[in-house]
């Protein structure tokens, strides 16, 4: 009988976490942050951190590969050159999800009838209302850019949005779009 190692469970959780971009026209929410004084001019090469936080120990995951390809393309487009090891910059990914519950009151009905005087109540009463509970999965994918020599984070960007059935079916395309949007704001 095959057992899933603990790292495999973690990889499965991370893999499902990557499926987050909303199919709605508004797209994901993008935020970025740079270290004070960060200027891309002083850097020429980049490598991917080993292991990436999206890897399963020393095993490169499918999720990692789906993040690496668009990141490499966009960073090369920004003028950096990819090297397997020893880059001026190191790139890492962070992926997470969280479940949210949203409640909304639904339609209700009420029947009241009574006869009474001076504050007394006679008769009958009936009331009904419902509350709709909606569970949503919110996902975030982040990119960390680290100065390899100083071992300091110099730039970070993240995209967050709702995980939908469509993004689950088209995970690679959703991740490609998220990485492209994040790195469009890279200096």
Tens digit of each residue's pLDDT (9 = 90 or more) over 45-58: 999 999 999 999 88
Give the pairing type, strands 124-147 and 89-113. antiparallel
Highest mean pLDDT among 16-25, 76-85, 93-102: 76-85
Q: pLDDT tier at 113 (50, 70, 90 boundaries)?
A: low
Number of domains in the chain: 1
Average pLDDT over residues 70-78: 96
CB 28 within 8 A of CB 159: yes
CB 95 within 8 A of CB 182: no
In a domain, 68, yes or no: yes
pLDDT of 86 higher than 80: yes
Tens-digit pLDDT profile for residues 117-155 = 665 555 565 666 677 777 787 889 999 999 999 999 999
In a domain, 54, yes or no: yes
In a domain, 12, yes or no: no
Q: Which of 134, 132, 149, 178 is nearest to 22 (CA)?
A: 178
In a domain, 55, yes or no: yes
Which is more confidently placed, 1 or 32? 32
In a domain, 18, yes or no: no
In a domain, 113, yes or no: no
* Domain with 143 in it: 37-100+133-183
In a domain, 57, yes or no: yes
| Residue 73 CB contacts under 8 Å (≥ 6 apart), including other chains | none
pLDDT of 21 higher than 50: no
Q: pLDDT tier at 168 (50, 70, 90 boundaries)?
A: confident
pLDDT at 131: 77
Average pLDDT over residues 81-87: 96
In a domain, 7, yes or no: no
CATH of the domain at 145: 3.30.160.670
pLDDT at 121: 57
pLDDT at 87: 96
Q: Which residues does residue 136 pair with via DSSP β-bridges, in sequence order?
A: 100
């Amino acid at each position: 009988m095959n057992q899933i190692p603990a790292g495999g469970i973690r990889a499965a959780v991370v893999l499902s976490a990557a499926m987050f971009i909303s199919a709605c026209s508004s797209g994901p929410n993008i935020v970025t942050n740079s270290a004070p004084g960060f200027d891309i001019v002083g850097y020429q090469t980049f490598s991917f951190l080993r292991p990436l936080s999206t890897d399963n120990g020393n095993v490169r995951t499918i999720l990692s590969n789906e993040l690496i390809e668009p990141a490499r393309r966009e960073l090369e487009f920004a003028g950096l050159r990819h090297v397997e090891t020893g880059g001026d910059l190191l790139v890492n990914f962070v992926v997470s999800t969280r479940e949210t519950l949203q409640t909304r009151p639904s339609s209700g009905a009420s029947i009241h009838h009574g006869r009474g005087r001076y504050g007394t109540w006679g008769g009958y009463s009936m009331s009904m209302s419902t509350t709709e509970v909606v569970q949503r999965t919110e996902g975030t994918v982040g990119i960390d850019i680290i100065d390899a020599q100083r071992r300091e984070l110099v730039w970070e960007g993240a995209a967050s949005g709702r995980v939908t059935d469509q993004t689950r079916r088209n995970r690679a395309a959703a991740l490609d779009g998220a990485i492209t949007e994040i790195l469009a704001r890279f200096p």
